[in-house]
Amino acid sequence: MSTEKKSLWKDLMDLPKNIYRSIFRNPLPASDRGRAATSFTNFFLHIQPVRVNKRTLRPSYTMGLGLISFFLFVILAVTGVLLMFYYVPSTTQAYDRMLDLRSSVAFGVILRNMHRWAAHAMVAVVFLHMCRVFLTGSYKAPREFNWNIGVGLFLLTLFSSFTGYLLPWDQLAFWAITVGTSIAGYAPLIGHQLQFLLLGDATVGQEALLRFYVLHVVVLPIALVLLVAVHFWRIRKDGGLARPEPSELPAPAAVVAPAGEVVAALPARRFAIQGLVKGPLVKVGTLDDDTVFSWPNLLIAELFVLLLTVAGLMAVSLFFNAPLEHPVNVMHPPNPAKAPWYFLGLQEQVSYSAFWGGVGVPAIELLLLVLVPYIDRSKEGVGRWFARQRVWANTLFLTFVLVNIVLIVIGTFFRGANWQFVSPF
């Protein structure tokens, strides 16, 4: 009787500890073995490798662009779901709900600001991430497929942003979507069908609003989540972030370690094989010495990027309000009517030639993006910015990037009424 009581008392005393241990399978790691165990026994941490190359952690190599894209997507999902509680996808109510967000919904303004600015930022950062991957030659084998997953993610990001643009149902939204979907209408053969399918009607109206809403809040986010999952998975399976072959790097200075230390370190470094990974980058037996444990090195880096992303977005959202123009007036198009900024390069091209500017040239550019890892099979200059061996590929890519940026800048700042050339100065 007394022993039972005693053990019950002990169990009660141990309750918090037992609950904690049932949730977290490992104590905070103190040894290398513990650091490895923490990484692969935690659901959220097992996405990361146990050890990560030091080059991968250099901020000057990745600039954290992929991670920022991902965090922006998470922020967009959270703020987006919150905004859904107050939004009605109806032509008669949508605009009023925008005004309500401003006037009567707690934190309505900051949530909408964050959602809008994060959406713009995500388009820009995903594009910059693509530039980083190209300019460091990271699309090359065995990462060809992941590069194309990335191209898909870029398109989904653009389309998500575009479908969200219509939802406030103000003049800016209405005419931007009218112009944007008309560009889609220039596609040969399927153009008009595509436009009709997208709008659900002959013109932008209630059907288009409902369709864009469903695409924006259900279809595209699910597609994005799926592709992001595959994208992350393939990073691991393709051997981590691209980096130069060891032979390309300068030989590390020889380190003479005390004999006793080496013997002591060996047992702790014997890990079970978790899976077989193709590629030359994961080695069993001898471990790369230029790797460090993900816990805490990678984790701290990721948290730092998250902090910067949230802080930056909050700062912008506190000082700048998301635009909201007059409610839709179908009779009075603004002059000029402009598509969202990331499509203004397209719109500028369309003003020269409807088919080539709107469909032909973008299709060729997209095809080149998709095919580039299969055309460029050389293995040189991988994992370094502006490698000398890649000067032609990088120059060609930067030319395309600059041309598109210049077209967007012209469309945004240098086009006034009737699409006449005006000076913003």
Partner 1 sequence: MGAAPKAIEPAETQVPRRQFLMWLSSVGVVGSALAAIFSTFVFMKPRATYGQPNRFRIGRPEEFPTGARIAIDTKRVCIVRDGDKLAAISTTCTHLGCIVAPSATGFHCPCHGSQFDVDGNVTGGPAPKALPWYLVTITPSGELEVDKDTEIQMGTYLSV
As measured in angstroms, the least distance from the Cβ of 222 to partner 1 is 15
Residue from 42, 90, 148, 206 that binds partner 1 (CB under 8 A)?
Answer: 206
- 175 scored as a contact of partner 1 (CB under 8 A): yes
Distance (Å, rounded) from C-alpha 20 to C-alpha 315?
36
Q: Which DSSP string corresponds to 315-332?
A: HHHHH-PPP--SBP-TT-
Residue from 227, 337, 370, 401 that binds partner 1 (CB under 8 A)?
Answer: 337
Q: Which is nearer to partner 1, 67 or 198 (CB)?
A: 198
- The stretch among 5-13, 127-135, 145-153, 345-353 that binds partner 1 (CB under 8 A) is 345-353
- 354 scored as a contact of partner 1 (CB under 8 A): yes
- 347 scored as a contact of partner 1 (CB under 8 A): yes
- 298 scored as a contact of partner 1 (CB under 8 A): no
Q: How many CA atoms lie within 13 A of 150 on its CB side?
A: 29
Q: Which DSSP string corresponds to 278-321?
A: -STT--SSSPPTTEEEHHHHHHHHHHHHHHHHHHHHHHHHHH-P
Residues 260-289 that bind partner 1 (CB under 8 A): none
User: Which residues on neighbouring strands pair with residue 51, listed in sequence order?
Assistant: 293
- 207 scored as a contact of partner 1 (CB under 8 A): yes
Q: Which is nearer to partner 1, 10 or 192 (CB)?
A: 192
- 205 scored as a contact of partner 1 (CB under 8 A): yes
As measured in angstroms, the least distance from the Cβ of 415 to partner 1 is 9
b or e along 372-386 (b: 16 or more beta carbons within 10 Å of the residue's beta carbon)?
Answer: bbeebeeeebbbbee
Residue from 93, 274, 335, 378 that binds partner 1 (CB under 8 A)?
Answer: 335
- 352 scored as a contact of partner 1 (CB under 8 A): yes
Task: Please tell me whether the peptide bond between 27 and the residue prior to it is cis, using omega within 30 degrees of 0.
Answer: no
- 218 scored as a contact of partner 1 (CB under 8 A): no
- The stretch among 2-10, 274-282, 285-293, 351-359 that binds partner 1 (CB under 8 A) is 351-359
- 419 scored as a contact of partner 1 (CB under 8 A): yes
144-147: long-range contacts (C-beta < 8 A, 24 or more apart)? 144/373, 144/374, 145/234, 146/231, 146/234, 146/235, 146/238, 147/372, 147/373
Q: Which is nearer to partner 1, 235 or 359 (CB)?
A: 359
Q: Which is nearer to partner 1, 64 or 185 (CB)?
A: 185
Contact 309, 117 (CB under 8 A): no
Residues 64-83 that bind partner 1 (CB under 8 A): none
Residue carrying structure tokens 């992350």: 232
- CB count in 10 Å sphere of residue 299: 16
Contact 381, 298 (CB under 8 A): no
- 212 scored as a contact of partner 1 (CB under 8 A): no
Q: Both tokens of residue 331?
A: 């009779």
Binding site for partner 1 (CB under 8 A): 175, 178-179, 181-183, 185-186, 193, 196-197, 200-203, 205-207, 330-331, 333-337, 347, 350-355, 417-420
